[in-house]
Structure 1
Amino acid sequence: MAKAPTVYDVAERAQVSIATVSRVLRTPDAVRELTREKVLDAVRYLGYVPSANARGLAARRTNVIGLFFPGHDDLDYAAAVDARGDGGVPVVVDDDDRASETENLYFDEVLRGAEIEAWRRGFALMVAAGRGASREALINDIAGRVDGLAVLSSTVSDELLAHVARRIPVVVLAGSERDDGFDHVSASNGPGMRTMAGYVLQQHGVRDLVYVAGPGDSPDDAERLEGFRDALRDAGVDEATVPIERGDFTREGGQRIAERLVRGDSRPRAIVCANDQTALGVLDVLEQHGIRVPEDVLVTGFDGITAGRHSRPRLTTVHQPMVELGRAAVHAITARLDDPGLGPQSLTLPVRVVLRDSCPPV
């Protein structure tokens, strides 16, 4: 087997320094185009593949950033199998309800932002999902493989995060800032929901409405619920007269709640949802029952996922910068790697209300 090319070989062929080769491979945008192309041509010609282990030993870093999200149970596809073809491949019934159990478009967008920023800064991204008792073991395992870790608020205990933070930077995504010593990156949840619900209450004059909250352990949901209650107080509406349904942030959960509302004694004029996936589930059920949106019922969401732009009708929502949340988390980690003495940092990104067909402008 031929000897593998080294960074020295690349530098010699491109007639540049080893440091320049390193910059091209880690932060290509920081190098002039002509120089960058010379180095990349040499890399391609020689078939050079950089060694992450060697870089890590030299810099005492892995050049990897960790991102931890709560996991989801796998679908039990066996229950949906109707037959097997001659090749032994399962033939299943397409069931959107079952598929929705594992969708989380919010995480997808945050992940995309983290990937963009990590790449821009010369880091790889390690993504992990765990639930229940597996979380502690998984977090400890990841912490030994990365230079910094971003986690979704309330998915990991403060004690475990404090243990990890003794070794690497930790950034908490979502939820409000707390005096816990960690960096925090979040969106303006409370004011966003206050503005959205206020538009329904005051511009559309709605008094008969239902709020569909998320899971009780979600810090984002707690802030959005408080924002909704603020909007009720602003409009002079007694909170005791407004039903609050507890959902789970999934489309399927929104469908279940909407079925109960539709089959109830009275139908609300507006359904304000704590996230878009819940609202999309509500729209599914209203359409199935021939209930017109927005003529009969107004529906709003929160997040601004792409699916809301393509729903029927298009979903009115509070758009939060999910991609920017991911980017900001990576930026916070790299900033602390560059300056370990930084005090705890907190960043709250702005949101905006986007009026579409499901709750149109007045």
Structure 2
Amino acid sequence: MPKTPTVYDVADLAGVSIATVSRVFRKPHKVSQATKDRVNAAVLNLGYVPSGSARSLAARRAGAIGLCFPDFDGIDGGPAPIVYADGRVIEQLDPPEDVEPSGDLYLSEVMLGTEIEAWRHGMAVTIAVARGDEIFDNLAGRVDGMITLSRTVPEGLLAHIARHIPVVVIAGTRAGDDYDHIGTDNVAGMQAMTRHVVDAHGVRDLAFVGGPADSPDDHDRFEGFRMGLHAEGIELPSEPLLRGDFTRSHGRMLGRRLVEAGRVPRALVCSNDQTALGVLDALLATGLRVPEDVIVTGFDGIDASQTSRPRLTTVRQPMRELGRAAVDTLLRRLGDPLMPPQTGTLPVTVLLRESCGCLA
């Protein structure tokens, strides 16, 4: 068999040092384009394949970050039953035509941010979806650290993992734990949105359309909604008017439920964009006008909020930056294991568009 090319062969053919070849593989943003071109040409010419296991042994690192997210695609559970306003339940064997398998667009953006930042530092990202505790336990033994969305991994298991590798939690508030936390200012963003609807549009009949009751983001946004109402002297609700699951299809169902009930508030402040877009679909399908009859707002700032008709007024949170900040925090923790637990909060921005009447 022909001799397997080594990193020494690549360096010799490219006319660079072994350290430079290593930087091209692990930190390409720190190497000039001309040098990268020479090294990559040598790699192709020789048929060289880097040995990840050898690098890991030398650095005592796996060179990978674990990313754990909830099961947002519903593969395990199958199609959810449809519940109508009169209490009838129909077993849904096939998805209705208006349900798009789009997954969670917020998580997709966060995931992209983690991949970008990990690539900048020469790290790989291994993604696990919450379908059994053993997945996380197995993943923890193959990565240098773990990033997870709040409440995705059971607390006992997360504490067990954190004894072996660093853990960064995205979203939610610190609850007496020692993990590093990265989130966005959900409370201030939703408070600002609520006060805008009241002050700029003179609306005092507004309701909150929430997400899952166990979502820390939803909890903080509802608290921001209540704080906005309190600042305007409006009576505070103890619970959201309705709750969904953060998907557009469920938002449509909630919108239809409101119309069927015969009482649609003047403004619907939704906990995320996909819910708001679904509510918008349902209202427009029944002949209601947005924003003339009903104001609808969201939270997240996903791309789809810019292309709806009318375009969705929303609170933009920096989703990609959230993923990048989580990776940056994890890498700093790997470099300094004894530093105090870190908490980072990224700012949000209110984007005013046609669905509230500002640009109509």
**How do 1:265-344 residues align onto structure 2 when only pairs under 5 Å count?**
265-344=262-341
Candidates 227, 235, 239, aligned match of 2:236:
239
1:229-252 Cα offsets, whole Å, 9 max, x none, are: 001101100114996212211112
Q: Which letter maps to 2:268?
A: I
Deviation at 1:34, TM superposition (A): 2.9
In the alignment, the residues of structure 2 paired with residue 256 and residue 180 of structure 1 have an alpha-carbon distance, to the nearest angstrom, of: 37
In the alignment, the residues of structure 1 paired with residue 351 and residue 292 of structure 2 have an alpha-carbon distance, to the nearest angstrom, of: 19
In the alignment, the residues of structure 1 paired with residue 183 and residue 357 of structure 2 have an alpha-carbon distance, to the nearest angstrom, of: 28
SS at match of 1:98: coil
Q: Which letter maps to 1:251?
A: R
In the alignment, the residues of structure 1 paired with residue 97 and residue 185 of structure 2 have an alpha-carbon distance, to the nearest angstrom, of: 31
Deviation at 1:179, TM superposition (A): 2.7
Deviation at 1:28, TM superposition (A): 1.1
**How do 1:97-246 residues align onto structure 2 when only pairs under 5 Å count?**
97-100=98-101, 103-131=103-131, 134=132, 136-240=133-237, 244-246=241-243
Deviates more, 1:297-306 or 1:235-244: 235-244
Matching residue of 1:32: 32
Deviation at 1:259, TM superposition (A): 0.9
Matching residue of 2:349: 352
Instruction: Give yes or no for contact 2:292–2:357 (8 Å, CA) kept in 1.
Output: no
Instruction: Give yes or no for contact 1:299–1:315 (8 Å, CA) kept in 2.
Output: yes
In the alignment, the residues of structure 2 paired with residue 246 and residue 29 of structure 1 have an alpha-carbon distance, to the nearest angstrom, of: 45
Q: Which letter maps to 2:3?
A: K
SS at match of 2:254: helix
Instruction: Give yes or no for contact 2:226–2:237 (8 Å, CA) kept in 1.
Output: no
In the alignment, the residues of structure 1 paired with residue 324 and residue 126 of structure 2 have an alpha-carbon distance, to the nearest angstrom, of: 14
In the alignment, the residues of structure 1 paired with residue 240 and residue 16 of structure 2 have an alpha-carbon distance, to the nearest angstrom, of: 68
Question: TM-score, with normalisation over the residues of structure 1?
Answer: 0.90
Instruction: Give yes or no for contact 1:270–1:297 (8 Å, CA) kept in 2.
Output: yes
SS at match of 2:209: strand
Number of residue-to-residue matches in the alignment: 343
Deviation at 1:94, TM superposition (A): 8.9
What is the percentage of aligned positions where both structures have the same residue? 55
Tell me whether 1:62 sits opposite 2:59 in the alignment.
Answer: no
1:136-161 Cα offsets, whole Å, 9 max, x none, are: 21110110111110000011122211
In the alignment, the residues of structure 1 paired with residue 312 and residue 232 of structure 2 have an alpha-carbon distance, to the nearest angstrom, of: 23
Q: Which letter maps to 2:98?
A: D
Deviation at 1:286, TM superposition (A): 1.0
SS at match of 1:109: helix
Deviation at 1:201, TM superposition (A): 1.4
Q: Which aligned segments of 4 or more residues in structure 1 are displaced greater than 3 angstroms?
A: 93-98, 240-243
In the alignment, the residues of structure 2 paired with residue 263 and residue 241 of structure 1 have an alpha-carbon distance, to the nearest angstrom, of: 23
Deviates more, 1:225-234 or 1:241-250: 241-250
1:259-306 Cα offsets, whole Å, 9 max, x none, are: 111112322111110000000100110111111111111000000000
What is the Cα-based RMSD across aligned positions, in Å?
Answer: 1.8
Instruction: Give yes or no for contact 1:209–1:243 (8 Å, CA) kept in 2.
Output: no
Q: Gaps spanning 5+ residues in structure 2: where?
A: 80-93
Deviation at 1:31, TM superposition (A): 1.8
In the alignment, the residues of structure 2 paired with residue 191 and residue 150 of structure 1 have an alpha-carbon distance, to the nearest angstrom, of: 25
Question: TM-score, with normalisation over the residues of structure 2?
Answer: 0.91
